[in-house]
Amino acid sequence: MTVETPKSLKKVSSMPVSSGKKKYKQASIASFFKKREKPSESTPERPKESETTLNGSDESLLKDKVDAPQQLVFKPAAEVSETKPVEKPVEKPAEKPVETVVSLRGRRRKNVNLKESDEEELDEDDDGDVSMTKRKRIRSEIESDSEDEYRDDGEAEEAEEDDFDKGVEDTSLNSQQSEADINNDDDDDDDDILEFASKKSKSKAVVRTPARKPVVYKPQQASPGTPRSMGRHTKFNKTNGERYQWLVHERDADGRDKTDPDYDPRTLYIPRDAWFKFTPFEKQYWEIKSKMWDCILFFKKGKFFELYEKDAHLGHHLFDLKIAGGGRANMQLAGVPEMSFDYWASQFIQYGYKVAKVDQKESMLAKEMREGSKGIVERELQCVLTSGTLTDSEMLRSDLATYCVAVREEPITYYDEDISAIPKVGKFFGFAAIDTATGHIDLLEFEDDEECSQLDTIMSQFKPTEVIMEKSNVCSLAQKIIKFNAQPEALINQRTGKEFYDTEKTFDELITHEYFESMEKWPVVLKSYYETGKKVGFHAFGGLLSYLQWLKLDKSLVTMGQVEEYNPIRSQTCLALDGVTLQNLEIFANTYDGTDRGSLFRLINKAITPMGKRKLRKWIMHPLLKIDDINSRLDSVDLLLSDMNLRDLLENELLKLPDLERMLSRVHSCSLKIQHFNKVLTGFEDIQTLVEQLSTFADLKGSLKEYLSEVPTSLTTVLKSWSNAFDRNLAVTDGVIVPNRGVEPEFDESMDRIQGIEDQLQEFLTQYKRLLKSSSIQFKDSGKEIYTIEVPMSATRNVPHEWTQMAANKSYKRYYSADVQKLARQMAEAREMHKVLEDDLKNRLYKKFTNHYNSVWLPTLQAISSIDCIISLARTSEQLGFPACRPKLVEEINPVTNEKLNGFLKFKELRHPCFNMGSSSAKEFIPNDVILGKEAAQVGLLTGANAAGKSTVLRMTCVAVILAQIGCYVPCEDAEFTPVDRIMTRLGASDNIMQGKSTFFVELSETKKILDLVTNRSLLVVDELGRGGSSSDGFAIAEAVLHHVATHIQSLGFFATHYAALGSSFTNHPNVKPLKMAILVDEDSRNVTFLYKLVDGKSDGSFGMHVAAMCGIPKCVVDSAAVAAENLEHTSRLIKERRHLHQSTNPVPLGLQSDMVRLVFGDGLKNSKQGTGESVRVYDNNIKTNVLKSFISVVNGLTV
C-alpha cells in the first residue's frame, strides 16, 4: 500500500543535527509528519489522526516542539492512537506518475514520486512509497560537546547540494527481518534507527583524571508498572531484555561468579543457547567482547564506531551519549563518528578504562567485489588502548614519557645449586619498562635487600602509569612499594602464569613471531640476558611481551629493537639519587599535593622540544659526577648567555620541530598519517639547515660542540634521496602518496586506468549535452552513487526513456544511463583497488625510511634533544635572579698517596631556587652561607626553634649541589665544592601506610641505607632522627649514628635535632660543628621572631611553648604545658647531675669507648665486622688518619 503525503502538511522548518547514522534517514522519517503548532505548557499537543500510522506498521512520531538545538523524539504508534481525533480532515492530493529506480549496487529502489518542492532522501531499508517535505540543512562541526551525535561523512559534501528525494524498496515488507536481511545486517550504511532525547546532549569536559564511577548495568526491560506499548522501540526493549538476561548475573568464561576469588573480570560467560539466537553480526561482536569484558569495545560499522549494551550504558552515564535500539544490530547502542574515535577513546581512558578498537578489514564495496553481497564484513581487533600504552600523539596528554612496567620476583636462592648453602637475605627482581610512544624498552635484573630499596628507587624514577605482575608472585611489601610509587590512577594488571611468559616461552615467542630476522639480529642486551642466564630479567621481559601481544602492539614496538639495560644509580659517572631523596627534596613532585608545583624539575624544564623535555628529566635523575663533563656543560651555558645570536638561532629552529621521536615510532609501525610523515621530513630538513648554520660559528665550545659533532654526516645524503620520492604537496593537501612517474609502475597503471575511465565519462557527458541540448548537464556524486547525470528541469523532456532516475528536486533530476552506470561501477572498483595500492605503497615507503632509524634518524634526535637541554639550562641560569654564579668544582687529592681527600662545599649567600616559583607574590628570601669540610667541620649539628627554617637550609644545600652538577648556575654569590657522589636524606617523621611501615620503622630503615651507602664524598641530611620512638631510645640512636658518620664515614652533611644535650657528646669532636637558626624571643608575650639566619652555636631551646602560642593555642593550655615542661626539665636536670657525680671518674663519650674496644680487642682500624669502621664503604688511609685525629682531639678535650 502506498501512502502519499498531503500537500497541506506544513514543511518542517529545520532538522536537528542527527545522532543517527544517516542524516537523510532521519529526514525521511520526519517528512511523514506535519509540523504541529507550538503547544502550551499546560496542555500537551495531540497529533492528528492521519499522522498516527504509516503503511499499517508501527512507526515513530516526530515531536515538533524541541529545545534548541532541535531533536527528534519518537513515540510508539500505540500510544498515539489513543489521542483525540483531528477536527478537520486533510485533503488527499492526487498522485503523480512514478518511475523505477535501480541503485549503483544493483539493488531495487522504490519508485520515485516527483514533487515540485525539495524532497528528502530515504535510507535503503525504509519501506513505503512516500514523498518527503523540504528541510533546511544544518551544518554542524563535530565538537567536544556534540561528538556523541551521528553524522555521516558524506553529509558535509551533500550539504552543498540541493536536497533530492530518494526511495528504496525493501525486498521484504514484513515486520520481521528476512533471512537475507539477517545475513546482510552488516551493510556499512549502518541502518540502525536511533532514538533521540528532546534535549541536546553535552559531553562532560574532563580536566583531570577522575576516579572511575561504578555503573550498574542491566539489560533494558519493560517496567511492569508502566503501560505496555507495542511501539517498535518498546517491543525492541522487551525483546532485548529477554535475549540478554544472562548479562544480569555476570560470570567469567569458566563460569565463576564475581564473588569467587579466582573470578576473571576480563572474560564473560555466554550460554550455549544464546549463541544459536545470535545473528552473524552479533556472533562476530560477542566473540570479541566475551574475551575483553573489562574493555570498552568500539566496534566499527560503516562510518561509525559503536558501543553496545553495557558499554553503551556506560558511555551514556559518563558522557551522556544517546542510547538507541531497535535496529538490525539487535542490541542497545551508542555511536560516534569514526573521525572522533581518538577523542572519545581518550575520554574513557582518562576515567581509567581500557579501550579496544575493532575495525573493518575491508570496505563493503571490497567485500562485494570479493564474494558478492552475502555475508558480513570481516572485522578484527586492531588494538587495545590503555593509559600506560598510548602511542598516538593526539591522545597523549604530556610530552614526558609514559611508562608501562613489568615486574618479576624470585627468592635470593633462585640461582643457587647447593640448597644447603648459608642462608641469604634478599631477593631477585626482574624489571622491564616500555615507553610505547617511542618504543624504548629498559631491561634490568638486580639483587635487592629485604626492604626492596632498589626497587623503590627504580619505581620512583619511572613513576609508571601501568604495571604488569604475575598473580601471587610479587610479595606484599614489593606490591605496596609499586603502588606507592606509581601514578595515582595507575592500572595494575595481575596476569596468570600462562600469560606472564617464562624464559623458554619468551624465547619461543621471539623466534615464532619473527620479531627479528635471526637471533644474531636480536638487541645486544636481550641476547646477553638470554645467553648469560639472567632468567629473572628475561622473565620480566616475557611478561611485558605477552601484554604487548594482547594489546596488538608487539610487532610495531618490539621490532624496533630499542632495548637497553637500565642503570638506576650509575655511581661511576653520575651523582646517585635514590627514591627517598627524590621525594624528600621534591625533585619531580612536591610533598604537599603530589604535583610538580614548586619542584626542581618544573624550575629547570624550559626545553623547547618534547624530546628535550624527556631527556632533561633523565639528566636530573642522573646529575654528572666528573668535573670535566660538568664544566663542558657550563661552558656551553656561558656561551649561550653571552652570544644571543647563537641562542636565538637555536631557539627559533627548535621551535619548528614536532615530536619527531614519537613520530619515528609511528613510521616504524606504518600507522602515521602521510601528512604527518611530511612533517617528519620537514623536521629533519630543518635540523639539517640548523647544523649547516651552526657550522659557521667558530667559537662553539663545550657540550654544544660535542653534541653537534654527533649528528651523522650522512643526514644530508639520506634526506636528499627523499626530497623527490613523492609529491609532497599532494601529501599535505589530499593526504595521499603520489610517487613520481616511473618510480612505481603498478601505481602508474592504476592511475592510468582511473584516468581512462574519467576520460570516457567526460566523452559521454559531452554527448549528453548535445543530445539534451543543454550545457548545464554535469556529473554529481551523492553518497555512494557517483557520477550521476544531473539534468536541469528544462531539459528533462528530452531524457531517453531507458535512463534510470536516481533522485530529483524542483530544479534538477539525476539519472543513470546504462553506460554511465557501468563506468561508475568500474570507477568505484578502480578507486578501491587504487586505495589498496596506496596503502601498500605507504607501508613500503615507511619501511624504507625506517632502515635508517639507528644509523641516521635516532642519533640525530639524540643530539638535538641534548642541545635543547643545554638551552633549558641556560634559560634557567638566566632566570635564577641575582645573585647567581657559575659553580666552581675542584678535586682534592693527596699528592703523596693519590687518594681522594674528604669533600667540602662552600656556598656564599645561598638561596633556595624554587622559593618564589609558582607564587603570585614574590617574597624576600633570607640567604645563608653554607660551609662544610676543609677548614670547617664535616657535619653541622643544627639546632633551633620549630619553624625557624632548618629544613629549608637542608633542602636548599642539596638542591644547589644538584643544580651545579647538572651544569646549571647556582643562586648564590659564590659556589665552590668537590663533586658529590651521592645525596642521602632522612627528613620528616611520618608513617607509610601504603608500604605498611610505622614512623619509627621508616626512620630506621632510611638510616640503615644511609650508613650502608654513603662515603666521604657524599652529602648527608638527617632531620630529627629518633623522634619516632621514645625519648631515651631516640636520643641513643641519634648519638650513635652521628658518631659513626662524623668519625668513620666522614660525609658532608647536616644533622638537625631537638635533642639539646646531643651536642655535649661532641664538644671536642673535630668533625662536628654546632649550628643554630637565629631568632629573637620575647618571653613576656611568648612571641618569637624568626631571622632565618644560620649562625654558629647551640640553640637555647626549641621554644615549643612560644610557637604554640603563636599558632593560637589557648593561653591556659600553653601555661599548663609550660609548667609541666619546666617540672620535667628540672627533674631531668637533677637526674643528669646525680648521674654525672657517679660517673665523674669516667667522662669518656660512649662512642669513643666503643671505638677503643674495637681498636684494642677487635680488628683495629678496619671496616670489618669487628673493626672500628664496620660496614663503611670507603675506609682508606686518608679516612683512617682522620679517625685517629678525632680520637686524639676528643681525648685531649676530656677533663678528669
Q: Who's near 18: CB < 8 A, 6+ residues apart?
A: 25, 26, 72, 149, 150, 151, 194, 196
**Mean pLDDT for all residues in the chain:** 78
Q: How far is CA 757 from the centre of its chain?
A: 48
Beta-bridge mates of residue 1089: 1080
Looking at residue 31, what is its pLDDT? 37
Question: All 3 cell numbers of residue 1182?
Answer: 686518608
Q: Using the 8-state DSSP alphabet, how is residue 322 labeled? A: P
Looking at residue 37, what is its pLDDT? 38
Largest CA distance in the chain: 132
Q: What does the H/E/C string look like for 941-956?
A: EEECCCCCCHHHHHHH
Looking at residue 235, what is its pLDDT? 60
Mean pLDDT lowest for which of 199-213, 306-320, 354-368, 578-592? 199-213
Evaluate the CA torsion angle 70, 75, 80, 81 in order and state its sign.
positive
Amino acid at 160: E
Please state the φ and ψ torsions of residue 817, each to the nearest 5 degrees. -90, 165
Looking at residue 730, what is its pLDDT? 85
Q: Who's near 908: CB < 8 A, 6+ residues apart?
A: 929, 972, 973, 974, 975
Residue pair 459/444 in contact (Cβ under 8 Å)? The answer is no
Looking at residue 689, what is its pLDDT? 94
Question: All 3 cell numbers of residue 240?
Answer: 532485548
CA distances from 1124 to 571, 882, 1119, 1129, 1131 (A): 51, 48, 9, 9, 11
Q: What does the H/E/C string look like for 857-921?
A: HHHHHHHHHHHHHHHHHHHHHHCCCCCCECCEECCCECCCCCCECCCCEEEEEECCCCCCCCCCC
Helices H, strands E: what count in the chain? 36, 28
Q: What is the DSSP string of 976-997?
A: EEPPPSEEEEE-----BTTTTB
Q: Using the 8-state DSSP alphabet, how is residue 1064 labeled? A: G
Cell 638487541 sits at which residue?
523
Amino acid at 843: N
Looking at residue 153, what is its pLDDT? 38
Query: 939-943 and 974-977 as β-strands: parallel, antiparallel, unpaired?
Result: unpaired
Looking at residue 416, what is its pLDDT? 80
Cell 526493549 sits at which residue?
237
pLDDT category of residue 18 using cuts at 50, 70 and 90? very low
Please state the φ and ψ torsions of residue 27, each to the nearest 5 degrees. -65, -40
Evaluate the CA torsion angle 30, 36, 39, 43 in order and state its sign.
negative
- Per-residue pLDDT, averaged over 30-41, amounts to 38
Which one of 423-427, 549-553, 1081-1085 scores highest in mean pLDDT? Answer: 549-553
Give dist(CA 446, CA 432) in Å, integer.
Answer: 12
pLDDT category of residue 303 using cuts at 50, 70 and 90? confident
Asked whether residue 321 carries a pLDDT value surpassing 80, the answer given is yes
Segment holding 1031, helix H or strand E: helix 1031-1044
Cell 643545554 sits at which residue?
870
Amino acid at 849: F
Asked whether residue 245 carries a pLDDT value surpassing 90, the answer given is no
Question: All 3 cell numbers of residue 669?
Answer: 609501525
Looking at residue 247, what is its pLDDT? 83
Residue pair 870/703 in contact (Cβ under 8 Å)? The answer is yes
More confident residue, 183 or 688: 688
Amino acid at 857: W
Give dist(CA 827, CA 830) in Å, integer.
Answer: 5
Tell which residue, 359, 317, 364, has the closest CA to residue 191: 364
Give dist(CA 60, CA 1082) in Å, integer.
Answer: 84
Rg of the chain over all Cα atoms, to the nearest angstrom: 39
Asked whether residue 667 carries a pLDDT value surpassing 60, the answer given is yes
Give pLDDT tens digits for 1172-1197: 888 888 888 888 988 998 888 888 87
CA within 13 Å, CB half, 958? 29
- Per-residue pLDDT, averaged over 511-533, amounts to 93
pLDDT category of residue 279 using cuts at 50, 70 and 90? confident
- Strands (E) located in 793-871: 804-808, 812-816
Give pLDDT tens digits for 567-577: 988 878 899 99
pLDDT category of residue 1067 using cuts at 50, 70 and 90? confident
Asked whether residue 65 carries a pLDDT value surpassing 50, the answer given is no
- Per-residue pLDDT, averaged over 926-943, amounts to 91
Segment holding 717, helix H or strand E: helix 715-722
pLDDT category of residue 951 using cuts at 50, 70 and 90? confident
Q: What is the DSSP string of 598-667?
A: T-HHHHH---SSHHHHHHHHHHHHS-B-SHHHHHHHHHHHHHHHH-HHHHHHHHHHHTT---HHHHHHHH
CA distances from 2 to 62, 111, 128, 129, 948 (A): 20, 11, 6, 5, 92
Question: All 3 cell numbers of residue 356?
Answer: 579496544
Give pLDDT tens digits for 727-772: 888 888 888 888 877 777 888 888 899 999 999 999 999 999 999 8
Asked whether residue 542 carries a pLDDT value surpassing 50, the answer given is yes
Looking at residue 1138, what is its pLDDT? 55
Looking at residue 760, what is its pLDDT? 93
Looking at residue 109, what is its pLDDT? 43
Which one of 221-235, 533-547, 838-852, 1068-1082 scores highest in mean pLDDT? Answer: 533-547
Give dist(CA 1047, CA 125) in Å, integer.
Answer: 91
Give dist(CA 568, CA 575) in Å, integer.
Answer: 11
What domains lie within the chain, and their CATH numbers?
232-385 (3.40.1170.10), 403-568 (3.30.420.110), 600-739+849-878 (1.10.1420.10), 745-831 (1.10.1420.10), 888-1111+1143-1192 (3.40.50.300)
User: What are the helix (H) ranges across 55-184?
Assistant: 77-80, 155-158, 179-183
Q: Using the 8-state DSSP alphabet, how is residue 20 labeled? A: S
Give dist(CA 1066, CA 174) in Å, integer.
Answer: 100
Tell which residue, 351, 327, 326, 304, has the closest CA to residue 147: 304
Give dist(CA 922, CA 548) in Å, integer.
Answer: 49
Query: 1087-1096 and 491-495 as β-strands: parallel, antiparallel, unpaired?
Result: unpaired
Amino acid at 1009: K
Report the percentage of the chain scoring pLDDT > 90: 40
Give pLDDT tens digits for 78-96: 333 333 444 444 444 444 4
1183 three-state secondary structure: helix
Looking at residue 64, what is its pLDDT? 36
Question: All 3 cell numbers of residue 99?
Answer: 518511475
Tell which residue, 199, 203, 151, 196, has the closest CA to residue 320: 203
Residue pair 157/292 in contact (Cβ under 8 Å)? The answer is no
Q: Who's near 1094: CB < 8 A, 6+ residues apart?
A: 928, 929, 930, 942, 953, 1075, 1076, 1077, 1078
Neighbours of 538 (CB within 10 A): 25
Give pLDDT tens digits for 612-640: 999 999 999 999 999 999 999 999 999 99
User: What are the helix (H) ranges across 379-499?
Assistant: 453-462, 476-485
Looking at residue 393, what is its pLDDT? 81
Looking at residue 925, what is its pLDDT? 85
Cell 579501550 sits at which residue?
355
pLDDT category of residue 169 using cuts at 50, 70 and 90? very low
Report the percentage of the chain scoring pLDDT > 70: 74
Q: What does the H/E/C string look like for 544-594?
A: HHHHHHHHCCHHHHHCCCCEEECCCCCCCCECEECHHHHHHCCCCCCCCCC
More confident residue, 627 or 397: 627
More confident residue, 698 or 467: 467
Q: How far is CA 533 from the centre of its chain?
A: 34
Neighbours of 345 (CB within 10 A): 24
Give dist(CA 29, CA 735) in Å, integer.
Answer: 36
